[in-house]
Structure 1
Amino acid sequence: MALESLRYRRGSLEVLNQRLLPGQLRYERVGGVERAWGAIRDMEVRGAPAIALLGCLSLAVELAAGAGPSEDLGALEEFVGQKLGFLLSARPTAANLGREAERLRAFVRQRVETPGVTPEQLRESIIEYIEGLLEKDRRDNRSIGAHGASHILGRVPGGGPVTLLTHCNTGTLATAGYGTALAVVVGADRVAANGDVANKIGTFQLAVAARHMGIPFYVAAPSSTCDPTLASGRLIPIEERPGTELTHLGGVLLADPEVDVWNPAFDVTPHELITGGIITEWGVFAPSELCRALAERGEH
């Protein structure tokens, strides 16, 4: 049975603490947004799709428990907006949470403007909307895998065997339980308008090596990872992690206590190194064409 990064049912949410893997397999209760913020910030959950889902589902848990105003539509809308804003402060690089928050805010605004909607109906519709993101994530992941496999195998003469190298957390633990990069090379946390990609440290080096060796280099990412507001990768905010992640292991200091540490969590791969393409749930696109193609589909 595949590992699950998240376990959810109405009013209940658990996250697999990935900081403890592989030594321990422990699911921890997420009772609301504040706990989700900590899990995202401390990298207990990893992978941009899983981060987005944990954040949104933690809000659904709070709403199911009756948190927030119960008698005023505008006050409930403001409550949801504040919670989403707080979640977005946890980690700056991954785009999916921001994209889903934007869509959720738009959905709530639409519901508030619907004649006759009561606060209780608004609350229920928000919970149902968020729960729908779980199945959408699984559908999108399967589509990404199918498009990637078809595109890669179509470039192999005679349908011979294919050797793939994956980088970063691209399997079930990065998503709601299926995985984005089952048939491709790397995942992504944010894609700029020109196709530059931010992903875990080491992605850029692999892209350079693949280019030198003439090996196609692919990125697999759901459309929500694309950020058309950023012209290029130079504008992507790069999260820096605590230096202790490199100087300590299991609480034991492994380096000189005075050593300076720079610990960026991501690097940026220029679009010209993504020679295979960017694989989304809508198909495979050349990096420079992705955001424009998604805009034409109404995705952004």
Structure 2
Amino acid sequence: MTDIDFDRYDRIRPIRWTGDALELLDQRRLPFQVEYVRCGDSDAVAAAIHALTVRGAPAIGIAAAWGAVLAAREVEAADGVAALAALEPALQRLNAARPTAVNLAWALARMRGALAGAGADWRARLEREAQAIAEEDLAANRRMGALGAALIAPGSGVLTHCNTGSLATAGFGTALGVIRAGVAQGRIDRVYAGETRPWLQGARLTVWELEQDGIAPTLIADAAASHLMKSGQVQWVVVGADRICANGDTANKIGTYQLAIAARHHGLKFMVAAPSSTVDMATPSGDAIEIEERDPGELFGVGGVRTAAENVGAWNPVFDVTPHELIDAIVTERGVIERPDAAAMRAAFPG
């Protein structure tokens, strides 16, 4: 198989640190407008995370890390311990912006750790840690892309859900990184993307992002997934995760669970690709995950045009949990966990 040309398949960057501000590619405006939002303080970063200006678990964590750097600009402290005490309210506001994605709390924990034992150079340490989080994520994505692609037989078709590419990470992507690597190596011939209601991340983001790299995806309605599987056009479902539990259960964008059920029924393989920072060994199973619910009004229309009758109710959970029994492989930069369960997870993440 051929090597991966990362310059060709990794052109998009959703997060830019300028040295005095954080610039976030506004993913609410894609694919029709490519516009960056400038965040000059940590509360602006928290608001951008909550409003889905930036989204995707790894990208949220990276943005929050830079938010901590921005918060430090407003603090006077002699050392890291004093700085942490002063920064804690801002860190809590960042953490509350999106509760389900474990990368957010993980990144902020790393930023707290960078302050422990720091002296007068605590600001510089904080900035180095944020940069390290971003660089490590990019390297991890490229590694897991190659690992995940190796599981896919040449000539395969794949279906993905939501957006898990460069837009959701520091670059290259998680599940979309696997797909990029698979296309580059000639393993994947056909890529299908579900639209991903209600925010249409698949329709607005995934197909746009793949097209930037010269990959021609096919968009399907979410409701067409089972029919597509029955047609024989796909052999793998490849998705990301916002949290991976100690028993191998995974939380991901709403609609993932039903894809796993349908894949098992049709004899397809189901892969979850996410960095090790998404693994939460402190959460025993998916039953313990806090599932974020957003404004029910998000279901009442598309693109600002109302499609539902007035005075109706709605339920809008934005994640669901896929039981580990329905997952054939979890891929992180550390390796592949086939048929994940509690024992397999402990072996892969003993610490």
CA deviation string 1:111-155 (max 9, x = no partner): 24xxxx22xx111111111111111111010011011112x14xx
CA deviation string 1:158-194 (max 9, x = no partner): xx31222111211110101221112260000011111
Match of 1:183 in 2: 178
8 Å CA contact 1:3, 1:172 repeated in 2: yes
**Mapping of 1:194-273 within 5 angstroms?**
194-273=247-326
8 Å CA contact 1:278, 1:290 repeated in 2: no
Does 2:126 correspond to 1:96? no
Gaps of at least 5 residues in structure 2 are 1-9, 180-237
Match of 2:142 in 1: 142
The TM-score normalised by the length of structure 1 is: 0.88
Q: Distance in 1 between matches of 2:35 and 2:19?
A: 21
3-state SS of paired residue (2:159): coil
1:175 corresponds to which letter in structure 2? T
1:61 paired residue among 60, 70, 75: 70
Instruction: Say how many residue pairs are matched.
Output: 281
Match of 1:279 in 2: 331
1:171 corresponds to which letter in structure 2? G
1:146 corresponds to which letter in structure 2? A
**Mapping of 1:81-120 within 5 angstroms?**
81-109=88-116, 111-112=117-118, 117-118=119-120
Q: Distance in 1 between matches of 2:40 and 2:344?
A: 37
8 Å CA contact 2:337, 2:345 repeated in 1: no
Match of 1:5 in 2: 14
Q: Distance in 1 between matches of 2:79 and 2:115?
A: 13
CA deviation string 1:207-226 (max 9, x = no partner): 11111111111000111111
Q: Distance in 2 between matches of 1:20 and 1:145?
A: 27
8 Å CA contact 1:204, 1:267 repeated in 2: yes
8 Å CA contact 1:108, 1:122 repeated in 2: yes
1:75 corresponds to which letter in structure 2? A
- How far has the Cα of 1:290 moved from its partner? 5.2
- Structure 1 or 2: more strand by fraction: 2
Match of 1:48 in 2: 57
The percent of aligned pairs where both chains have the same amino acid is 45
- How far has the Cα of 1:271 moved from its partner? 0.3
CA deviation string 1:217-257 (max 9, x = no partner): 10001111111121110111111111111113344433222
3-state SS of paired residue (1:125): helix
Q: Distance in 2 between matches of 1:22 and 1:47?
A: 16
Q: Distance in 1 between matches of 2:295 and 2:12?
A: 27
- How far has the Cα of 1:71 moved from its partner? 3.3
- Runs of 4+ that moved beyond 6 A: none
- Pick closer, same or farther for the CA change 1:272–1:61 going to 2, 3 Å: same
1:77 paired residue among 79, 84, 87: 84
- How far has the Cα of 1:79 moved from its partner? 2.4
Q: Distance in 2 between matches of 1:166 and 1:273?
A: 16
Q: Which has the higher contact order (CA 8 A, sep 6+)?
A: 1
- How far has the Cα of 1:61 moved from its partner? 3.1
CA deviation string 1:244-276 (max 9, x = no partner): 11113344433222100101101111000002x
1:90 corresponds to which letter in structure 2? A
- Pick closer, same or farther for the CA change 1:162–1:249 going to 2, 3 Å: closer
The TM-score normalised by the length of structure 2 is: 0.76
- How far has the Cα of 1:10 moved from its partner? 2.0
